[in-house]
């Protein structure tokens, strides 16, 4: 994000969502190898989630999204729960992570995209991108 202005929402955010699901799959696979591997993959997932939420919230603010406070609160609640997890990730915790991510991307994030299409019809949704989540820490 150069100069504080976010890139178009769908290409960047969609790519980050795909990367989060990919990383979550790596967390699930690592659970089978043991807590040490799971902890490493979970830490990377946590890092990607924090970066994604920051990018998404900047995008929502830039667009003037009226439901930003509620959206931000959903992010904060998820992060608080995520930060309590470690490499001894239970099956219930793993299911929670996947369920929350699916529900958030198909619910709250979808509502944002629908609002954008109505509020900013002059900006068509860009084609989907294969851009990966940024990897800097």
pLDDT digits (tens, 9 = 90+) for 73-111: 999 999 999 999 988 888 899 899 999 999 999 999 999
CA dihedral over 92, 55, 77, 66, signed as positive or negative: negative
pLDDT digits (tens, 9 = 90+) for 46-61: 999 999 999 999 989 9
Q: Give me 49's structure tokens.
A: 């989630």
> 13 pLDDT band (50/70/90 cuts)?
confident
Question: What tens digit of pLDDT does each residue of 21-33 get?
Answer: 999 999 999 999 9
46 C-beta neighbours (distance < 10 Å), count: 16
From the candidate CATH numbers 3.40.50.300, 1.20.120.50, 1.20.1050.10, 2.10.25.10, the one assigned to the domain spanning 8-119: 1.20.120.50
Write down the pTM of the prediction: 0.79
């Amino acid at each position: 994000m150069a100069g504080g202005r976010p890139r178009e929402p769908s290409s960047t955010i969609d790519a980050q969502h795909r990367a989060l699901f990919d990383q979550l799959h790596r967390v699930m696979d690592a659970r089978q190898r043991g807590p040490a591997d799971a902890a490493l993959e979970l830490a990377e997932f946590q890092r990607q989630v924090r970066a994604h939420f920051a990018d998404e919230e900047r995008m929502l603010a830039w667009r003037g999204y009226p439901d930003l406070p509620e959206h931000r609160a959903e992010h904060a609640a998820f992060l608080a729960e995520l930060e309590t997890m470690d490499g001894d990730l239970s099956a219930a915790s793993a299911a929670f992570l996947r369920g929350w991510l699916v529900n958030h991307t198909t619910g709250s994030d979808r509502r944002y995209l629908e609002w954008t299409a109505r509020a900013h019809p002059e900006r068509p949704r860009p084609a989907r991108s294969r851009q990966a989540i940024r990897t800097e820490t």
